[in-house]
Structure 1
Amino acid sequence: MTKPVVFVTRQVASEAIEYVKEAAEVEVWEEDRPCPREILLQKAEQADGLLTMLTERVDEELLSRARKLKVVANMAVGYDNIDVPAAKKRGIHITNTPDVLTEATADLAFALLMAAGRRITEANRFLLAGEWKSWSPTLLAGQNIYHTTLGIIGMGRIGEAVARRAKGFGMRILYHNRRRRPEAELEVGAQYRELDDLLRQADYVVMLTPLTPDTAKMIGEREFSLMKPTSVFVNVSRGGTVDEEALYRALVEKKIWAAGLDVFQKEPVPPDHPFLTLPNVVALPHIGSATYQTRMEMAKLAAANIRAVLEGKEPVTPV
């Protein structure tokens, strides 16, 4: 009996690959860069399963050519790179990797919050440039974190994990979500607010909502105008949830204090991207879940989803 074929679009943990190999013929794109579109389309035509990254666009064009395809396992919690309705129409399972990256992403979100609020990377550049000549009471002074107010936009699993960290800093926790989260309110004392109220009150705003048609450019010029001039904006969701031009103006015009950004509307960003010229921006190359342990678990979960579908079972974490 011919084994099904699985194409993996990037090198991932060998344990995950070996697990899929027990049920399928596996081919891996070996280069440490996104698989070129034409190669991806060619491989999809022959594949029963795809293990993809957020860099791959699984759209109508690809799905219409992938006549054997049964499952796409996206190695990410988000899946805005996939046309889910088009896949569903064809009976193709779409899966993601929730939960396993929650704590690592929350760590990174809080690290960005602290780095932007306390000017950590700016201070590091100052030191390395040889500009530190003497101590001064106002030298690189930042904003308090302890006993301030945190506003979380998107209170899912990662939002709750960020809130737990904030609780340890004695922060007052506000959140905005499509639905109230009574369990989060009970566990960490989070208080629900309408978006405008959250933006007015928060000293730190952390963006954690998924990118959907409803959340595209959810935070723009009007929203930044509501924030305090001492507030810090952190985005670890998707770049498309924010109007980047409005954020740039808010930072330059000092309508807000600083920003910590792990995601951008178009990735990777060029070295001359406007955000990279601003001293009050801490910018990272989309490393929210980038710990060895977490990426291992993400790959293993994606592999488990593929194998389950190929063996005629329900996927572990369906979208």
Structure 2
Amino acid sequence: MKPRLVVTRTMPAPVAARIEAAFDPVFLDISGRFDPESLLDALDHAAAILVTPADRIEAGLIARIPVDVKILATFSVGTDHIDLVAARASGLAVVNTPDVLSFATAEAAMTLILMCARRTGEGERAVRSGQWPGWTPTYMLGTSLEGKTLGILGMGRIGQALARMAAGFSMRVIYHNRNRLAAAQEGPATYIADEADFLAACDVLSIHLPGGAATRHWLNPARLAKLRPGVIVVNTGRGSTIDDDALIAALKSGQVRAAGLDVFPAEPTIPPGYLDLEQVVLLPHLGSATEETRTAMGMLALDGIEAILAGQDPPNRVA
């Protein structure tokens, strides 16, 4: 018999086809907020679960997962939606999807940087609404990226991919990490060890921090005050890393020129203060949203599930 796999959300077609072929699938196809009870109701005789970042798998839920379920796979690199301590304590293996989404997420960050610098969201809205008055020398002037300094906060695989892209736009690239990377990983970027020096040098700040208590509201009023006036702030990491009230105030004061946000602390709810600010670009968590990347993510998650069920220890195991 094929092992039963419970899948919380609709998967890309190639991933769904592989699930149909290799497993006895239960597709919940949740489209809104995650309902833990609907997952628990589907777990009879299940061996594995495939969840997404939109599904919070907390300790209380893990305690109720039947012992026959051997593995929980997440369709993401991040695991802050899963209580890994509880998973380890219960013997539930957890795998994620590293590496395959780095370039796509860096593309999304670069898209936001360009949109903020060149005011393309504002311009597109003006054209669609019939508010474009026609070409004039001073209409909707943005700023060029050429010669500007991009500061990358969190120089993991995504940050490294973004650094290479930004160099193609003739940007100077700096980064700040807990630790300096090996020279081969730095690429065109220069390490700035002192946080205050790093912030003061940024014309653009791109945030690539993981979620969790240690990084919650990292971008707070004190750090915003250290940024160069007129800075652009972009976040494709986790919404929890920004103090939204503080960023909104900085946008209104002009301390921050523009912001490009792909992630939010209580998705799909957007902090309402952003909605009336023309200089803010808001995207619906599109970081990894390419056909190629989402398919690769699903395949990697399934690789991990199959390995665990076969008694192996896959490289993408995180608990």
Q: So what's the TM-score if we normalise by structure 2? A: 0.94
Q: Tell me the percent identity.
A: 37
Flag the 1:185–1:300 CA change in 2: closer, same or farther, 3 A.
closer
Q: How does 1:160-175 map to 2 (within 5 A)?
A: 160-175=160-175
1:39 counterpart = 2:38: yes
Match of 2:116 in 1: 116
1:254 aligns with 2:254: yes
Q: Deviations over 1:54-85 (max 9, x none)?
A: 01111111111112221111001111100011
- Confirm or deny: 8 A CA contact 2:175 2:189 kept in the other structure: no
For residue 163 of structure 2, what is the amino acid of its counterpart?
Answer: A
Q: How far apart are residue 5 of structure 1 and its match?
A: 2.1
1:190, distance to aligned residue in structure 2 (A): 2.5
CA deviations on 1:208-233 (whole Å, 9 max, x unpaired) are 01112211111111111111222100
Following the alignment from structure 2 to structure 1, what is the Cα–Cα distance between the partners of residues 167 and 223? 25
Counterpart CA distance in 2 for 1:255 and 1:288 is 26
The answer to whether the 8 A contact 2:150-2:203 is kept is yes
Q: Which amino acid aligns with 1:227?
A: L
Query: Any conservation in 1 of the 2:160–2:186 contact (CA below 8 Å)?
Result: no
Distance 1:29 1:186, change over 3 A: closer
Residues 151 and 173, structure 1, Cα contact 8 Å, conserved in 2? yes
Structure 1: gaps of 5 or more residues: none
Q: For residues 46 and 165 of structure 1, do their structure 2 counterparts lie closer, same or farther at Cα, with a shift above 3 Å needed?
A: same
Of 207-216 and 160-169, deviating more is 207-216
* Cross-structure match for 2:176: 176
Alignment of 1:12-23 (within 5 A): 12-21=11-20, 23=22
Residue 204 of structure 1 corresponds to which residue in structure 2? 204
CA–CA distance in structure 1, aligned partners of residues 241 and 234 of structure 2: 12
Letter in 2 for 1:307: E
Residue 71 (structure 2) pairs with residue 85 (structure 1): no
Q: Distance in 1 between matches of 2:261 and 2:212?
A: 19
1:132 counterpart = 2:132? yes
User: CA offset at residue 182 of structure 1?
Assistant: 2.1
Residues 150, 205 of structure 1: 8 Å contact kept:
yes
- Unaligned runs of at least 5 residues, structure 2: none
Asked if the contact 1:45–1:65 (Cα under 8 Å) also holds between the matched residues in 2, the reply is no
Distance in structure 2 (CA, Å) of the matches to 1:73 and 1:106: 23
CA change 1:16–1:311 in 2 (3 A) is farther
Count how many residue pairs are aligned between Structure 1 and Structure 2: 317
Is the contact made by 2:149 and 2:201 (CA closer than 8 Å) also made in structure 1?
A: yes
Question: Within 2, Cα distance between the matches of 1:78 and 1:186?
Answer: 22
Instruction: Determine the C-alpha separation between the residues in 2 that align with 1:21 and 1:127.
Output: 45
State whether residues 112 and 281 of structure 2, in contact with CA within 8 Å, keep that contact through their aligned partners in structure 1.
yes
Specify the alignment match of 2:313 in structure 1.
314
- Tell me the residue number matched to 1:70: 70
- Residue number in structure 1 paired with 2:188: 188
Cα 1:132–1:21, aligned 2, differ >3 Å: closer, same or farther?
closer
Which residue is equivalent to 2:216?
216
CA distance in 2, matches of 1:152, 1:46: 46
Q: After superposition, what is the alpha-carbon deviation per residue over 1:292-319, rounded to whole angstroms, capped at 9, x for unaligned?
A: 1111111111111111111111124112
Change beyond 3 A, Cα 1:185–1:313: closer
1:109 and 1:184 mapped to 2: Cα distance?
22
Shift of 1:186: 4.8
CA contact (8 A) 1:23 1:307 kept: no
Amino acid aligned to 1:205: L
1:295 and 1:137 map into 2 onto residues whose CA distance is: 42
> Contact 1:48 / 1:70 at 8 angstroms: preserved in 2?
yes
1:31 Cα offset (Å): 4.7
Distance in structure 2 (CA, Å) of the matches to 1:241 and 1:184: 28
Q: Structure 1 residue 106: deviation in Å?
A: 0.6
CA distance in 2, matches of 1:65, 1:185: 42
Return the alpha-carbon distance in structure 1 between the equivalents of residues 101 and 286 of structure 2.
Answer: 11
1:301 equivalent to 2:275? Answer: no
Distance 1:184 1:235 in 2: 25
Give 1:18 deviation, angstroms.
Answer: 4.3
Pick closer, same or farther for the CA change 1:234–1:184 going to 2, 3 Å.
farther
2:10 aligned counterpart, secondary structure: coil
TM value normalised by structure 1:
0.94
